[in-house]
């Protein structure tokens, strides 16, 4: 047993770190490290910077213009980026639809759709969930009816993250209403500029517009935008859900947030003593740090199984559950650390470069909105209850 990265991996990490030192703009870095909300350009500019270095597709095979990195290298890259304060890569194109297009799309689709994702020139969103189809995704109702060389799509998608920025949406649609639910679903790529698409904002409790309703009314979609075969969409969707695993635990993000928590706990005091030395509070930090330590090793175990081509199994659920709970706990502890300063909630003061008359320490302005925002982590992408069901059924055999 050896828990260390190989020398090559360590050299690789240094290479990534040095790139980050030279190319991560300080403005966006500052935003990420302080929990400030990022806008569309922050994400796209970073994708373009990576693309310029040849790293636009860290999880992609070389034949599609990706880096061809091993899962361990991808992990190292993700972790180094997160720790340095790089924006997360927008997953919908890069990590969700792209692998499906690579595995099941035809050559024309690959040529058309993959390069703009890599270059950061087209934004994708995910059209899976519907008002009636959340955890029970297979019950989705959005209908697509073949009409000559088009599909005519009617229905409603919801919770569409950053759909307001999107050029394209990948949708699960029902093409055979008579088959068993999983059998009648197809996977369609839809241009967001198509007539008949309406995007309506959903405001979340943090006051942000991050998710949307997407209404589809007689939207005509060229049949050439169907991925793979009609009525096989569920297979592709499941492939997608099982694909993105190296970063699902968010170890790098959690380490970064742990460091931020410690910085706050150095500035805030109780009985004249920094919270980092307060017996109660430091015990809480220690507990989450230890939890994270265990998860990191669990994550590496999953990665090396994947590197040896052992089929990645339902243990991704362990990573999702623990990773989301740890991130939520870190933000909870930050709000604890700032005490009553967690109560003021002024969106203007949370923006980067705020110069106004807001009487709180800079580090105290963002934890509360993030704490509210991150409630989503245990709900989306298969809720933690659904993940526990998966563990019970697939691992425990119950």
Partner 1 sequence: MDFTFTEEQNMLVDTAERFVSKEYGFETRNRIIGSEAGMSKAVWQGLADLGLLALLVPEEEGGLNAGPVETMLVMSALGKGLLVEPYLSSAVMSTRAIAALAGAEQRAEWLEQMLAGTLIVAFAHDEHGARHDPLAVETRAVRIGDGYLLDGRKSVIRHASQAGMLLISARVDDGIALFAVDRDTPGVRLATYPSVDGARAADVFLEQVYLPESRRLGQGDSSDTLLAVLDTGLAALCGEALGVLQRSLDTTIEYARTRKQFGVQIGKFQALQHRMADMLIHVEQARSMTYLAAVRVLDNDAARRAAALSAAKVVVGEACRFVGQQAVQIHGGMGVTDELDISHCFKRLFAIEKTFGSALDHLDRYRRTLAA
Catalogue the active-site residues: 244
335 binds, among ligand FAD, partner 1, none (CB under 5 to 8 A by kind): partner 1
Residues 258-277 that bind partner 1 (CB under 8 A): 268-271
CB of 290 to ligand FAD, least distance (A): 27
Cα–Cα distance, 138 to 316 (Å, whole number):
21
Name the nearest CA neighbour of 119 among 86, 93, 87, 144: 93
Please pick, from the candidates 10, 14, 345, 393, the single residue that binds partner 1 as defined by CB under 8 A. Answer: 345
Give the CA distances from residue 290 to residues 14, 72, 251, 295, in Å, rounded to whole numbers and listed in that order. 25, 22, 13, 9
Query: Please, are residues 203 and 164 in contact by the beta-carbon 8 Å criterion?
Result: no
327 binds ligand FAD (CB under 6 A): no
* Side-chain half-sphere CA neighbours of 75 within 13 A: 22
Please pick, from the candidates 195, 340, 353, 397, the single residue that binds partner 1 as defined by CB under 8 A. Answer: 340
385 binds partner 1 (CB under 8 A): yes
CB of 10 to ligand FAD, least distance (A): 36
Residues 282-321 that bind partner 1 (CB under 8 A): 284
Q: Phi, psi at residue 42, to the nearest 5°? A: -60, -45
By beta-carbon proximity to ligand FAD, the closer residue of 79 and 130 is 130
Residues 6 or more apart from 377 whose CB is under 8 A from it? 324, 327, 328
129 binds ligand FAD (CB under 6 A): yes
CB of 100 to ligand FAD, least distance (A): 14
CB of 149 to partner 1, least distance (A): 35
- Number of Cβ within 10 Å of residue 72's Cβ equals 19
Q: What 3-state class would DSSP assign to 123?
A: coil
Please pick, from the candidates 92, 104, 159, 187, the single residue that binds partner 1 as defined by CB under 8 A. Answer: 159
Give the CA distances from residue 2 to residues 13, 183, 197, 301, 304, in Å, rounded to whole numbers and listed in that order. 18, 45, 53, 11, 12
Q: What stretch of H or E contains 192?
A: none
247 binds ligand FAD (CB under 6 A): no
CB burial readout 346-377, b (16+ within 10 A) else e: eeebbeeeeeeeeeeeebbbbbbbbbbbbebb
358 binds ligand FAD (CB under 6 A): no
Rule CB under 6 A: which residues touch ligand FAD?
126-129, 134-135, 159-161, 211, 376, 379-381, 383, 385-386, 389
Rule CB under 8 A: which residues touch partner 1?
129, 132, 134-136, 139, 158-159, 202-205, 207, 211, 268-271, 278, 280-281, 284, 332, 335-336, 339-346, 349, 357-359, 368, 371-372, 375-376, 378-380, 383-385, 388-389
């Amino acid at each position: 047993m050896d828990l260390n990265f190989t020398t090559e991996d360590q050299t690789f990490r240094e290479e990534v770190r040095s790139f980050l030192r030279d190319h991560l703009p300080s403005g966006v870095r500052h935003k990420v490290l302080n929990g400030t909300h990022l806008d569309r350009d922050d994400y796209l500019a970073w994708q373009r910077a990576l693309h310029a270095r040849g790293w636009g597709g860290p999880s992609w095979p070389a034949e599609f213009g990706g880096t061809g990195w091993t899962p361990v290298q991808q992990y190292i890259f993700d972790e180094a980026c997160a720790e340095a304060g790089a924006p997360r890569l927008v997953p919908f194109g890069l990590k969700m639809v792209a692998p499906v297009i690579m595995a099941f799309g035809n050559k024309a689709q690959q040529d058309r759709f993959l390069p703009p994702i890599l270059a950061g020139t087209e934004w994708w969103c995910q059209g899976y969930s519907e008002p009636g189809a959340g955890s029970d995704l297979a019950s989705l109702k959005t209908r697509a009816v073949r009409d000559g060389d088009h599909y005519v799509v009617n229905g409603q998608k919801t919770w569409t993250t950053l759909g307001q920025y999107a050029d394209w949406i990948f949708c699960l649609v029902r093409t055979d209403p008579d088959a068993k639910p999983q059998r009648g679903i197809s996977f369609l790529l839809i241009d967001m500029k198509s007539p008949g698409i309406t995007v309506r904002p959903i405001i979340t409790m943090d006051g942000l517009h991050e998710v949307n309703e997407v209404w589809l009314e007689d939207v005509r979609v060229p049949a050439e935008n169907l991925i793979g075969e009609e009525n096989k969409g569920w297979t592709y969707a499941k492939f997608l859900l099982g694909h993105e695993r190296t970063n699902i635990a968010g170890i790098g993000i959690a380490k970064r947030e742990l460091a931020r928590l410690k910085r706050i706990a150095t500035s805030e005091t109780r009985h004249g003593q920094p919270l980092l030395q307060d017996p109660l509070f430091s015990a809480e930090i220690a507990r989450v740090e230890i939890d994270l330590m265990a998860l990191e090793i669990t994550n590496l175990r999953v990665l090396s199984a994947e590197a040896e081509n052992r089929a990645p199994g339902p243990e991704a659920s362990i990573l999702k559950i623990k990773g989301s709970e740890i991130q939520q706990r870190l933000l909870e502890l930050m709000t604890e650390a700032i005490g009553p300063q967690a109560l003021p909630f002024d969106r203007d003061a949370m923006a980067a470069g705020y110069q106004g008359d807001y009487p709180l320490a800079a580090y105290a302005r963002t934890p509360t909105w993030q704490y509210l925002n991150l409630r989503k982590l245990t709900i989306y992408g298969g809720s933690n209850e659904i993940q526990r069901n998966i563990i019970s059924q697939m691992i425990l055999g119950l």
